[in-house]
Structure 1
């Protein structure tokens, strides 16, 4: 793996926001930035296409203008461009195989409803094992994109303590260290169905479960706190719906980090209901980190 950051561009406001966010990230990491436009030609190979030259000029202008704008906003970042004739999702996944991350835009639905992924971004999230950052266009995302000095905003990482967290925490702590910002670690748990019933629920049971959850979270974070002693880590362990808790804690954050378990099965990959909800409704950039089911030995 190398340090370069790959950005998918298609000319939309969302991809422009993704490019701005990625350029700031490249500056922080002192990493090269690679801008990619991928589009599959629909014309038969043996048939002349009167629009082929027009599309080629449009693509060249798109990449050239984006590169110039990002070089202006982030002086010193090395920017390269590439145009690919092929399925966008598969092409972006292949190009990013050896990259440190892939950054994509996400389509907005409105001021209150968050955003929904397009088919390309969703396919990429489901298949690539590289970190994918999804950036929407809009006030919150633009404030976090690097156009202003907002990369010191706190980061939020959502943890499922029933699964390995090392890959997720490695990314989260490294990002917080780059930004010199606080990191909020969020673990939400649901009450067991046999723990209580309505108003008869025993608060002592709740307190015991809460203490157990907070202890488990602290235990998981301890080695990372020792590795990154300068990072201000704020722990959140509470009962509730995980997606709701993450979205609430991530309001105003610089980045929300969630995991996706790598699954290879005949029915395809899955990202899990919490990550699914978060990437569709978060108003800040979301990093999806693929991780193995079990810890490597």
Structure 2
């Protein structure tokens, strides 16, 4: 639904932190907030204390409590809740296609990579047609809540040209809404001779070298968005190194990190190595924006 930010709740503190972040974002944008929980009752062979009615009542209470919590901070915000009786992944993917953005909770970051982003969240990220924002757990959200307006918006710009459009549109709009500085980060490495064509060598020579060429590519990608959002202060950062490491090192003071996810990859849907690294290790909320 245009003009609506949707949050997928699962009863955890991480999801509640996502609801609080989304409420703050909806209040800033002047949009509605929708809190949903996808639920399917399944009987098992094990002894279960309670029944379908008990579990459904718990879910509805969870939605009600989440609504009351965000309404306490944002009393004028238009907040609705809905219990969706269906499997979580296809339900949340559908919600992402209809909302301005889908917001989910993330367990946090560390050295282990298996459990940090839940299996449902990863499947939704791989399939969503719209932006999905992953919000860190309570201890990260609380620290940044009072300084959210001051933190930079950081966007990774590895894909240039038209492919970068949706990602840069999201990042520039977020920076404009917050009055925040936008840091556009592009990483580069010395190309292999096997992929370095005479035409590429000529372009690099015309630009004065490899790094100036990368700066020119970044500047060209940003130019139309600078024109559309002239009030956004932009820092262009080009650095040699692995894309994920360069982006993470520039995200320490960010309030939001924006990365892209290609939708035309063949085979299994995937998030991408850079987005995957940022999702697991960036301390800020991370927006994953699909692009061609």
Common topology (TM > 0.5):
yes
Aligned to 1:156: 154
Query: Residue 86 and residue 65 in structure 1: after superposition, are their counterparts in 2 closer, same or farther (change >3 A)?
Result: same
Give the Cα–Cα distance (whole angstroms) in 1 for the partners of residues 62 and 148 of structure 2: 27
Question: For 2:105, what is the secondary structure of its paired residue?
Answer: strand
Q: How far 1:153 sits from its partner (Å)?
A: 1.4
User: C-alpha deviations, 1:163-197, integer Å up to 9, x for none?
Assistant: 621111111111100001100000001112349xx
Cα pair 1:140 1:252 within 8 Å, conserved: no
Give the Cα–Cα distance (whole angstroms) in 2 for the partners of residues 76 and 264 of structure 1: 42
Cα pair 1:9 1:36 within 8 Å, conserved: yes
1:291 is the counterpart of 2:291: yes
Aligned to 2:100: 100
Give the Cα–Cα distance (whole angstroms) in 2 for the partners of residues 225 and 286 of structure 1: 22
Aligned to 2:185: 186
Question: For 1:116, what is the secondary structure of its paired residue?
Answer: coil
Alignment map for 1:58-207 (pairs within 5 Å): 58-108=58-108, 110=110, 116-144=116-144, 147-162=145-160, 164-194=163-193
Q: How far 1:87 sits from its partner (Å)?
A: 1.1
Give the Cα–Cα distance (whole angstroms) in 1 for the partners of residues 95 and 69 of structure 2: 22
Q: How far 1:141 sits from its partner (Å)?
A: 3.3
TM-score of the two chains, using structure 1 as the length reference: 0.86
Cα pair 1:263 1:270 within 8 Å, conserved: no
Give the Cα–Cα distance (whole angstroms) in 1 for the partners of residues 109 and 101 of structure 2: 25
Alignment map for 1:234-273 (pairs within 5 Å): 234-263=235-264, 265=266, 267-273=267-273
Aligned to 1:279: 279
Give the Cα–Cα distance (whole angstroms) in 2 for the partners of residues 40 and 191 of structure 1: 51
Query: Residue 214 and residue 263 in structure 1: after superposition, are their counterparts in 2 closer, same or farther (change >3 A)?
Result: same
Aligned to 1:295: none
Question: For 1:140, what is the secondary structure of its paired residue?
Answer: helix
Give the Cα–Cα distance (whole angstroms) in 2 for the partners of residues 225 and 55 of structure 1: 50
Question: For 1:184, what is the secondary structure of its paired residue?
Answer: strand
Query: Residue 148 and residue 223 in structure 1: after superposition, are their counterparts in 2 closer, same or farther (change >3 A)?
Result: same
Cα pair 1:113 1:281 within 8 Å, conserved: no
Give the Cα–Cα distance (whole angstroms) in 2 for the partners of residues 273 and 139 of structure 1: 26
Aligned to 1:200: none
Question: For 1:251, what is the secondary structure of its paired residue?
Answer: coil
Q: How far 1:19 sits from its partner (Å)?
A: 0.5
- Provide the aligned C-alpha RMSD in A: 2.4
TM-score of the two chains, using structure 2 as the length reference: 0.88
User: C-alpha deviations, 1:124-162, integer Å up to 9, x for none?
Assistant: 000011100001115433334xx4352331100001145
Give the Cα–Cα distance (whole angstroms) in 1 for the partners of residues 69 and 174 of structure 2: 24
Give the Cα–Cα distance (whole angstroms) in 2 for the partners of residues 290 and 237 of structure 1: 23
Aligned to 2:200: none
Aligned to 1:198: none
Give the Cα–Cα distance (whole angstroms) in 1 for the partners of residues 285 and 83 of structure 2: 25
Give the Cα–Cα distance (whole angstroms) in 2 for the partners of residues 61 and 142 of structure 1: 24
